Amino acid sequence: MQSKVIAITGASSGIGEAVALHLAGQGAKVVLGARGEARLEALAAKIQAARGDAAFVSIDVARRDDLARLVESALRHYGRLDVLVSSAGAMPVGPLSDLAVDDWEQMVDVNVKGLLYGISAALPVFQAQKRGHFINIASTAARKTVPNQAVYSATKAAVLALSDGLRQEFAGKLRVTVISPGVTDTGFLTHVRDDALRSQMKEAAAKFAMEPESVARAIAYAIEQPDDLNIGEIVLRSRAQP
């Protein structure tokens, strides 16, 4: 891990923040990307205070040029990029009958287009280096949708399809890993507009949400494998989640 340069989207909170702290703690050089510049600066300072190595750049994954700036930041600070962790996600779930088209577009922009923009920015670098590792965060919702989560599930199913297509096209050259977490304590409920639905989901999360550090450890496991081994997907959920 100590030789790795790892860029992380959505790094200012939730899973992305946990991943940044965990990997930096293991000696990786991390490049943090998210919209909240103040939180990124505080996180980078925390990592550096613990003798870790971190750089940061304020980005919005829904903007193609911003992902290019994230990759460029890694190259500028460290001379290369070994891993791109696409952790940024949006989850303003609700019933289809609400016709919350703006929320649907946000999920597509962040969860799907943001992933594609990251691929477009990092892939030429990985090809030139003849090595690289994409780690894409999906969800258990990619394979099992429930009422109120149809659009979110669709975007996460797209993550699975895009990741496996990328893996097949670059088999023997690059590594591609999908991490599919179950319910995770990330503050996602702040995105849910409907009070009754938010209360219902809060009650469920209290019963079986896992900590984001669990996801961080799974990502570290995938990265630490020998270069000739590709971990295709890791599905993880708390033991209590049905």
Q: What is the CA radius of gyration of the chain?
A: 17
Element (H, E) at 32: strand 29-34
Beta-strand relationship, 83-86 and 53-58: unpaired
| CA neighbor of 29 nearest in space, from 74, 61, 70 | 74
- Longest C-alpha distance within the chain, in Å? 51
- Known active-site residue 78: no
How many Å apart are CA 145 and CA 70, to the nearest integer? 32
Give Cβ neighbours of residue 210 (< 8 Å, ≥ 6 apart): 181, 182, 183, 184, 185, 236, 237, 238, 241
Residue tagged active-site, from 78, 117, 152, 221 = 152
CB 12 within 8 A of CB 34: yes
How many Å apart are CA 20 and CA 26, to the nearest integer? 10
CB 31 within 8 A of CB 6: yes
The dihedral built from the CA positions of residue 223, 8, 185 and 151, taken in this order, carries a sign that is negative
Any idea which residues carry the catalytic annotation?
Answer: 152
